[in-house]
Structure 1
Amino acid sequence: MADHGTGGAWDLIVTPWHLDEHIPAFPIPATATEVVRPVLPAGPVPARMNLLHRAAADVVTRADRPLVLSGDCPTSRAAVAGLQRRHRDLAVLWLDAHGDFNTPAISTSGYLGGMALAMLTGRTPGLFDDMLDLRPVPDTSVVLADARDLDPAERDALTASHVHRMPAEPAAIASVLDRLGPVPVYLHLDIDVINGAQLPGARFPSGPGPSLAQIEECLSVACATATIVGAYLACAWLPEHAGDQTSRQAITRLAVALGADLR
C-alpha cells in the first residue's frame, strides 16, 4: 500500500467517458489499476453522469494515491469526493485554459463540462443529487492557473469569488501553494491548457498558451512544493484524436512529470 501524502506510487484509474458518453478509442495504459465502465441506463444526462461519478468515487476511495485519466472535467466530482472520504481538508490546484466556473444560471450553452470547478465549490445545487456526499471546497482553497478563455459572466463570477487566479507558471504555482500551507492538494489538469499548436484535436481549443514543457515543470514544482494526494488529467480531445500518437505521448509526459509510470 502506498503511504498517503508522502509522494508514493500512483494508482492509475481510467474513466474513458466524456460526460455520459463512453469513448471507445480512449487509450488504456497497461499500468492502469482499474478502468471505470459502469452500465448506464437510458435517462437524463445528469442522472447518467451521477451513476458514473458514484462508480468512479468508489474506485478513487479504494486507491491509495489516485491518478485519474478521464475524457472530461466533471468527473473531478468523483475524484474529490473520494479524496474527501479520508482528507477532512483539501485544496484544489486547477490548470485549465477555461475557468469551468459557469453555472446553469449563467452558462450560454448549458454545457456541463464548463461547470466542473463551479460544481466543486458548491455553485451548482440541484444539478446532481447528493449520492457522492461531496463537500464544497472553499474558494480560498482553490487555485486556478491560466484560464485564458472565459465567458463574460463566468469572468464576473470568478472576479467576485475568492478563488486564487494566476498564470500557469512554475514560480507562481510554487508561491501560492506555499501560502496555502500544509493542506493536502488535489491537482487537476485539462490538456487544453497547453498551447493548441502543440496538441491538436482538443474539443475546445483555446489557441496560444503555455508549452507542454512549461506545464510539465508546473506539475513537477507542484509535487515538490505540496502534498499532492490525488491528481487528474482531463484528456479532453475529440474522440477521433483520443488515441493519436501525439495525444498518447503528451499524456505520458504529463504523467512522468507527476512521477507516474504510463505505458
Structure 2
Amino acid sequence: MAGHSTAGTWEPIVTPWHLDEALRNFPVPVTATQVIVPPLPDGSVAARMNRLHQAAADVVAQASRPLVLSGDCPTSRAAVSVVQRRHQDLAVVWLDAHGDFNTPVITTSGYLGGMALAMLTGRTPDLFDDTLGLTPLPDTSVVLADGRDLDPAERDSLNASQVRRVSADPTAVASALGDLGPTPVYLHLDIDVIDSAELRGARFPSGPGPSLSQIEECLTAACAIADVRGAYLACAWLPDHVGQPTSRDTITRLTRALGADLAWPESGGH
C-alpha cells in the first residue's frame, strides 16, 4: 500500500462545532484553508447538523486531501461522503475511546455524538435528510481501534457486527490495514482515545488508555502503510479547554504524525 508521501499535501479545514453548537474558542491554524461557519436554521438539532454537514461537504469537496479539525465526530459524515465519491472502495480506521456505535433505538442518552460510526455504516437511516449521498460503509471496511468505553447495548451491536476491533497499538493498526489490502483509507481520530490522565479537559474522559506518544505512532504507522486520502481529528475537549495551549499542542503533535505541519497565530487565537 502506498504511504502518505505519494498522496499529496494535507489541506486543513476547520469545523468549529460540537453537534449544532458553535465553539467560539476553537483553535484555528493560520494554515487552514477554510473555516466552516454557516448560518443554521431554527429547528431540531439533527436538522441543524444536517445543514452544517452539507456546508462542510461542500468545502471538503474543494480539497484534494482534506484534513478536518472538528469539535465532534458526526461531521465525519461530510468528509467521508466526499472521499467516498472519489474512492468507492473506501475503508475507515476509527481511533476512539468510544465505539460511536449507538443508534436512536439502543441509546440510553440520546446523544448524537455517540452515533457517528453507526451513521457511517447505515444504522441510523432516518436520523438525517439524505442530502450527502453517503453510501453506507460495509462493516468489513471498518476498523475500530481502542473502543474501550462502550454502553452495554452498543457493545452487543459491535459484537454482532463485522467491524474489526483492534487495540490502539501501531502494530495492531498496521496489521489491520495490511489485511484490508490496497484500499484508500479515511483516518478518524477522537482525542479522547488518549489516556485521560494525560489529556486535560476532554468532554468524555474514558480513563486509562494509550499515551499520546502511542497514538502518534499509530498515525505514523497508518500513513506509512496505507493510502490515506482523508483524515479527521475530533477535538472533543470541553469548550473552555479546546482553545488552551495544551490542546493546541496536542493537535499539533497528532497532525504532525499524519505528516501535516500546522502553524498557529502568535496570540494562539483565531
Report the CA distance between 1:85 and its aligned residue: 1.8
Report the CA distance between 1:5 and its aligned residue: 8.8
Match of 1:213 in 2: 213
- TM-score, structure 2 as length reference: 0.95
Match of 1:261 in 2: 261
Report which structure shows greater RCO (CA 8 Å, sep ≥6): 2
Aligned positions, number: 260
Matched, 1:193 2:193: yes
Percent same amino acid at aligned positions?
A: 73
1:203-242, aligned counterparts within 5 Å? 203-242=203-242
Report the CA distance between 1:7 and its aligned residue: 2.7
CA RMSD in angstroms comes to 1.0
Match of 2:36 in 1: 36
Instruction: Indicate the larger mover: 5-14 or 129-138.
Output: 5-14
- TM-score, structure 1 as length reference: 0.98
* Secondary structure of 1:13 counterpart: strand
Report the CA distance between 1:6 and its aligned residue: 2.4
* Secondary structure of 2:146 counterpart: strand
Match of 1:75 in 2: 75
Matched, 1:99 2:102: no
Letter in 2 for 1:238: L
Question: Is the 1:15–1:70 Cα contact (8 Å) retained in structure 2?
Answer: yes
* Distance (whole Å) between structure 2 residues aligned to residue 221 and residue 253 of structure 1: 15
Unmatched segments (≥5 aa) in structure 2: 264-270
* Distance (whole Å) between structure 2 residues aligned to residue 163 and residue 223 of structure 1: 21
Match of 2:142 in 1: 142
* Distance (whole Å) between structure 2 residues aligned to residue 6 and residue 67 of structure 1: 16
* Distance (whole Å) between structure 1 residues aligned to residue 252 and residue 210 of structure 2: 18
The 1:158/1:5 distance shift into structure 2, 3 A limit, reads farther
Match of 2:133 in 1: 133
* Secondary structure of 2:86 counterpart: coil
Report the CA distance between 1:82 and its aligned residue: 1.0
Match of 2:267 in 1: none
* Distance (whole Å) between structure 2 residues aligned to residue 200 and residue 5 of structure 1: 32
